[in-house]
Structure formats: C-alpha cells, structure tokens
Amino acid sequence: MEERAEDRSRVADAPPKNWVDAHAPASLRPYARLARLDRPIGWWLLLLPCWWSVALASEGWPSPVLLVLFLIGAVAMRGAGCTWNDIVDRDIDAAVARTRSRPIPSGAVSVKQAWAFLLLQCLIGLCVLLTFNSFAIWLGLSSLILVAIYPSMKRITYWPQFVLGLAFNWGALMGWAAVEEELSLAPILLYLGAIAWTVGYDTIYAHQDKEDDALIGVKSTALKFGASTKKYLWAFYGAMMAALVASAAVAGLGFFFYPVAALAAALLVWQIVTLDIDDPARCLRLFRSNRDFGLIVFAAIVAGQIA
C-alpha cells in the first residue's frame, strides 16, 4: 500500500526514475517537486545563458567560482520561479491533465507552505546575488518584475513565451555584468538571441498542452502558430544563431567558435525537421535536447576564447 501511495504522489510529467522519487526523503519530496528538482532541464535552461555570458566576457577560461555561483543561483531561482508560477496557476494546473498532480493542486503542499518555501529559495538566490558587484546586483534585482508578471501572461496574450524569454535569459546580461561591471553590445545581442531561442523551445513544449489550454482559455504561441509552427521555428532559431554569431564577432572570439557553433545550429535544425506537434512525447524529447544545445554553445564560446 505504501508503494502505491507513493506512485500516486508522483508528478505526471516528471522523468521516470528521477532522483527525487528514488532518493529524496519522503518529507521533502513535495518541495523538491514544487521546485522541479525532479526535472533538471529547467535550471539548465536558466543557467546556460549565464554561463555563455560569463565565458563571453572572460579572457581565456571562465572563472570556475562564477560558474558555480550561477549554478547555485539558477537552481534556487528556477525553483522559486516554479513555486511562484504554481501558486498563481494552481487553479489552471488543477484543470490540466499533465499538471493536476503537481504538489499544490494535488494537496501535497498547501499554499501557505508554498509561500514559505518560495521565500527560502529567494533568500538563497539573494545570498548568491550579493556576492557580485553592485552593478550586477541591481541588474539582477530588476529582473524580478519580469519574473512576477510572467505567470499572468498566458491569460492575456498569445505570446507568454516571449515574456518567459525576457525573464529566463536575464543571465545573458548578468554573466557579463558580473565580470565587467557594465553592459555592452555583445551581451545585449546574446540576450536578444536567447529570447528568440526560448520562444522556439517553449513553443515546442507548449504543444503538449494545447488541447487543455484551448479548453480552459489559456493562450500560448503553440496555439497561435498551430500548423505553421515549423515555419516560425525556422525564424526564431535562425534569429538565435544570427544574434549568437553577431555577439561572438563583437566580442572578438576566435575562429574555433564558429565550427563548434555550427554543431549547435545543426541540433536546432534537427529539432525542427523531426518535430511532430501532435506527439507530446516527441515534443518533450526535443524540448529537453536544448540542454545539449546550450552546452555546445558554451563550448563554442570557450573555444573561441582560448584558441
């Protein structure tokens, strides 16, 4: 009976045999699930623009200390963002098959407990932020406006993925600021490209929920683009690569950036060509492949700095 109860407590769209289900203490599992620690792709997608930006601003190898600090901050703030999103969206999540098993709509975590957990995660993120220079601190604090308004965007616009891109890729500015104590054209171009990338990959992700979203009146680019999704992906992913190359050129990266970046571009092409918007499992697999894309881009920037 205990095994069956635990099975029912799992979140429907979490990866099978994830470490939270397998190893986390039972009392902490609902909170780990609320922070999406059972699906690390989210903090990877938040972290990678930070790492790109740190590497772009560095001469030679990026600082391991900065990379670790951004890792801790990304895990904490991704968890805080998910907690906030689930507090705001608890009624919508309860009406969607893929999300009704999440901790708040399922009753595993109360709204009051979720608020307390949100505060704890924000405090961890603040501790990381305070290790940076004053310019980076103020820049980081300014992103909270975007984080706060994002969950409401799906109710008022078909472009919530664009607002997600604005918030989720703030690290493309933060990494540079943490190194240089200022901003310049290179990180701004990187940020613009990363926004286009997010619109692309989160559109793929949103196709998993399009039927439920349409029924309950929630908007998304998946619903807006519909059968023309691949055409839009060519445009957004093309904009990502154009902005990435422009950013690298402005930053003066060396030759070896370009062949490695070409591998990243090939992965985006593979996503578009193999996408089936009516196959949720395929959409999820392609969405998760963006971690690999981001790691390749990071390797490309480092290669351009050291070779």
Q: Give the pLDDT of the chain (307 residues) as one tens digit per residue.
A: 333 344 445 666 667 678 787 778 888 888 998 998 888 999 999 999 999 999 999 999 999 999 999 999 999 999 999 999 899 888 877 877 777 888 998 888 999 999 999 999 999 999 999 999 999 999 999 999 998 898 889 889 999 999 999 999 999 999 999 999 999 999 999 999 999 999 999 999 999 988 878 878 889 999 999 999 999 999 999 999 999 999 999 999 999 999 999 999 999 999 999 999 999 999 999 999 999 999 999 999 999 999 7
When divided into structural domains, the chain yields a total of 1
pLDDT value of residue 7: 43
Residue 4 lies in a domain: no
CB neighbourhood size of 286 (10 A): 22
Cα dihedral 146/148/151/155 (nearest 10): -80
Residue 147 lies in a domain: yes
pLDDT value of residue 66: 98
Query: In angstroms, rounded to a whole number, what is the distance separating the alpha carbons of residues 188 and 194?
Result: 10
pLDDT value of residue 95: 79
Residue 242 lies in a domain: yes
pLDDT value of residue 2: 38
Residue 9 lies in a domain: no
pLDDT value of residue 97: 72
Structure tokens at 14: 């979490």
Q: CB pairs under 8 A, 24+ apart, for 179-186?
A: 179/54, 179/57, 179/58, 179/63, 179/66, 180/57, 181/133, 181/135, 181/136, 182/135, 183/139, 184/250, 185/250, 186/56, 186/57, 186/247, 186/248, 186/250, 186/251
Domain that holds residue 151: 20-306
pTM, entire model: 0.89
In terms of Cβ atoms closer than 10 Å to its own Cβ (0-12, 13-18, 19+), residue 240 is: buried
Q: Given phi > 0 = left and psi -120 to 50 = alpha, else beta, which region is 61?
A: beta
Q: In CATH, what number is assigned to the domain containing residue 170? A: 1.10.357.140
